[in-house]
Amino acid sequence: MSDDTRTMRAVGFTRSLPIDDPASLQDLEVPRPTPGEHDLLVEVRAVSVNPVDTKVRRGGDAEDGPRVLGYDAAGLVVEVGSAVTLFSPGDEVYYAGNLLRPGTDAELHAVDERIVGRKPSTLSFAEAAALPLTVITAWEGLFDKLRLTADSAGTLYVPGASGGVGSVVLQLAETLLPRVHVVATSSRPETDAWVTSLGADATVDHRGDDLRGQLSTAAPDGVDWVFTSRIEDEGQLQLYTDVLNPFGEIVAIDDPETLDVAALKSKSLSLHWELMFTRSIAGGDGQLSQHRLLEEVADLVEAGRIRSTLTTTLSPIDAEQLREAHRQVEGGRVVGKIVLTAG
């Protein structure tokens, strides 16, 4: 902790710069946050890096001073706001933050209790920090958007399956959707092993020839649902249109600047957007669904039905280590999640 109790150490950026520039992320001394009435003040023990961190950093210079990034955290509650009812000082928690508030790459972080869950007791802080953003994204996509249940039957295609969100989609499908056949993309032996261990029933090489032919073999009755982080990639939407059965559905989580969806009409296909920050941006008690979601996932983890997707640990949480994590995420070959610990 900073020697001045009014400030704390954090990592952030002022100018939008390539990650190889030492000024792209910098160590900062910033004011200690004051929790609002619904807030927890959390001593951050671990954070993970998601593609959204790199997108925000590359998206333009910070306004009104340095911006602290970070959207996943696990830590210890040290103070609570006047209206807090779900947690107390000393509780161990995990959560994904709010896109509109200062991030978790700091010693202390203020977060609305309604988007926070108790840390699974069987996980370390590092293991827990790998999960929240990807768990919420996967859960909302599968169960709120596609409305899948234990009785749902059909084939789910998961491009980008070895990444953070895909790695959780596979586990939730394996655990909670027993009648869903899951086809995952992979292009290397290590990703084949990873997605298979998480519950994929079949794999296709998205970099190989004749992907449509591979999908026809892996899903001979066609594809009913797609959960994708790659809809902005050239040719992907046409591929989904070709392989989906009539009335099929797509959940997309990436950020294309434009997207021509006219081809979906001929098969009456549906496209859903999933942004796990929507509830925290809207505020209010609607956020409680994410608290309940994280609590249910904690139960599944403690029962041995869901595991952490942590694959790489860096330490401490400083500018140098965060630049390395951003560099790896931007390289596009990360399997699972990169986590930084406070040391």
Asked if the bond preceding 316 is cis, omega within 30° of 0, the reply is yes
Burial letters for 185-221: b for 16+ Cβ neighbours within 10 Å, e otherwise?
A: bbeeeebbebbbebbbbbbbebeeeebeebbeebbee
Bridge partners of 39, per DSSP, are 112
Q: What's the pLDDT score for residue 280?
A: 97
What's the pLDDT band for 330 if we cut at 50, 70, 90? very high
263 pLDDT higher than 70: yes
The Cα 321–Cα 327 span in angstroms is: 10
What's the pLDDT band for 343 if we cut at 50, 70, 90? confident
Question: For the chain, which residues make up each domain, given as ranges?
Answer: 7-131+280-341, 134-273
Q: What's the pLDDT score for residue 197?
A: 96
The Cα 31–Cα 5 span in angstroms is: 9
Mean predicted confidence (pLDDT) in 301-320? 98
177-236 pLDDT, tens digit each? 999 999 999 988 999 999 999 999 999 998 877 899 999 999 999 999 999 998 988 889
What's the pLDDT band for 1 if we cut at 50, 70, 90? low
Q: What's the pLDDT score for residue 234?
A: 87
What's the pLDDT band for 158 if we cut at 50, 70, 90? very high
- Fold of the domain spanning 7-131+280-341: Quinone Oxidoreductase; Chain A, domain 1 (3.90.180)
Instruction: Say what the alpha-carbon torsion angle 125, 130, 131, 133 is, to the nearest 10 degrees.
Output: 120
What's the pLDDT band for 3 if we cut at 50, 70, 90? low
176 pLDDT higher than 80: yes
Mean predicted confidence (pLDDT) in 26-43? 97
Q: What's the pLDDT score for residue 314?
A: 98
Give the closest residue to 224 by CA, choosing from 168, 183, 174. Answer: 183
97-143 pLDDT, tens digit each? 999 999 999 999 999 999 999 999 999 999 999 999 999 999 999 99
Q: Give, in order, the Cα–Cα distances in Å from 49 to each of 129, 280, 298.
A: 9, 19, 20
Give the closest residue to 278 by CA, choosing from 145, 159, 119. Answer: 145
> For all residues of the chain together, what is the average pLDDT?
96
261 pLDDT higher than 70: yes
Long-range CB contact pairs, 267-274, < 8 A, 24+: 267/241, 269/240, 269/241, 269/244, 272/141, 272/145, 272/146, 274/137, 274/140, 274/141, 274/145
38-75 pLDDT, tens digit each? 999 999 999 999 999 999 999 999 988 899 999 999 99
Domain spanning 134-273 has what CATH number?
Answer: 3.40.50.720
Tokens linked to 201? 């029933």
Q: Cβ(3)–Cβ(39) under 8 Å?
A: no
Asked if 7-131+280-341 and 134-273 have one fold, the answer is: no
68-109 pLDDT, tens digit each? 999 999 999 999 999 999 999 999 999 999 999 999 999 999
Q: What's the pLDDT score for residue 164?
A: 94
